[in-house]
Amino acid sequence: MAQKTVVITGASSGIGAALAELLAGQGMQVVLVARRADALQEVVARCGPSALAVAADMTSRIDVRRTAQEALARFGRIDVWVNNVGQGITRAPSQLTDEDLDDMMRVNVKSALYGMQEILPHFQAQGAGHIINVSSMLGRIPFATFRSAYNGAKHFLNALTANFRAELQESCPGVVVSLVSPGVVRTGFGLNARHGGPDSRALPGSQSAEEVAAVIAGVIESKALDVYTLPGAHDRVVSYFRALSQ
C-alpha cells in the first residue's frame, strides 16, 4: 500500500485505535482524533513518529476545521478521512425523548457530515481523496429494538453517504466515498451507550476491533464502496428485505 495520510476520528480506543496502529505499521501517516487527550496520546505512542494526535470534538464544526488544519500543517496533505465517531443508546422507541434523538443524530450523523464537508474542498483541490464512513449492520437491519434511535441515525448516515457519493460522482469523480458496516464488535461500545447497556464484549457473533480495522484498511486499498465486515452479512440483509416484501 502506497504511503497515505489518513485522518481517523474516534481513535482513542476500539476500531479507531486498532486502525491507527495497523496503518502506522504499514507506513501510513496517521492523524488520530478524539476528545480524550490522555487516551489518545497512549495510542499515538504505540503508532510511532508517523502519528499526530488532535484532541477535538467531531460534533463541533470548529473542532473539525481545526483538525483538518493541524493535519495539513503537519503532513501537507490528507488522502483518507475516516469518520468513525459513534455512540449507541439503550431505550425502546416508545420511550425516546427529544434529547435521545438529538444526541444520536449529533454524534452519529453530524460528526460524519462535518467531516465530509470540511475535507471536501481539500480533496477537490487535489483532485482525489477517500472518505470512509463507519456505519453498522443496524443501519441496514434494525433488529436491536433497544438501540432504536441509534438504528435510525445509522440509516440516516447510510443515505447521506450514498447521496454525497452520487453528488461527487458528477462534480469530482476522483473523490471516493465508502461505507463500512460492522456487526457487534468487542469494544466498550455497549457499556458506553446512552443510558448504559449490555457489554458488547459478551455478545455472541462478535468481531474484534482488529478484525474490523483490517477490513477498513482493505477498503483504503480497494476503494470498495459498500462493505460489510462480517462474512455472510450481505446475504442476511438481502434475506431480511426479501422477507418484508412477501
- Provide the annotated active-site residues: 150
Q: Are 154 and 108 in contact (CB under 8 A)?
A: yes
Q: Which three cell numbers mark 63?
A: 473542532
Integer Cα distance of 23 and 14 in angstroms = 14
Q: How far is CA 75 from CA 30, 64, 202, in A?
A: 9, 17, 40
Residue type at 194 in one-letter notation: R
Residue 44's φ and ψ, nearest 5 degrees, are: -60, -40
Length of the chain, in residues:
246
Classify 224 as helix, strand or coil: coil
